[in-house]
Structure 1
């Protein structure tokens, strides 16, 4: 019984930590991707988003400043 109580308390604490997380949009790019792209994945690093265009064999970079 003691283990179940401790587990329930730990689960409650973990739930309260995760419920405090909020997501806020800081910026967005208004640049349009070329039509017909085969972009399947992207990654963000140091204020820049990189999107892979497999059909054109290119990587597009979108920065916060434009």
Structure 2
């Protein structure tokens, strides 16, 4: 494995963060027992992907300089 990617593109990192957050929330009494961590991770990744796509498109449309 020689290719690298940013940490925020890693499903493992996001799954770990969700696990830590739900575990911590459980310590404070928030009910997360029936929550599917895999589905939550997937939903968060899809949301982040959609937001980053919108931001990229907006950034390109509002740019004043050419690419390249």
Asked which structure has the greater RCO (Cα within 8 Å, sep 6+), the reply is 2
Q: Which of the pair is proportionally richer in helix? A: 2
Q: Which of the pair is proportionally richer in strand? A: 1
TM-score normalised by the chain length of structure 2: 0.32
TM-score normalised by the chain length of structure 1: 0.33
Larger Rg: 1
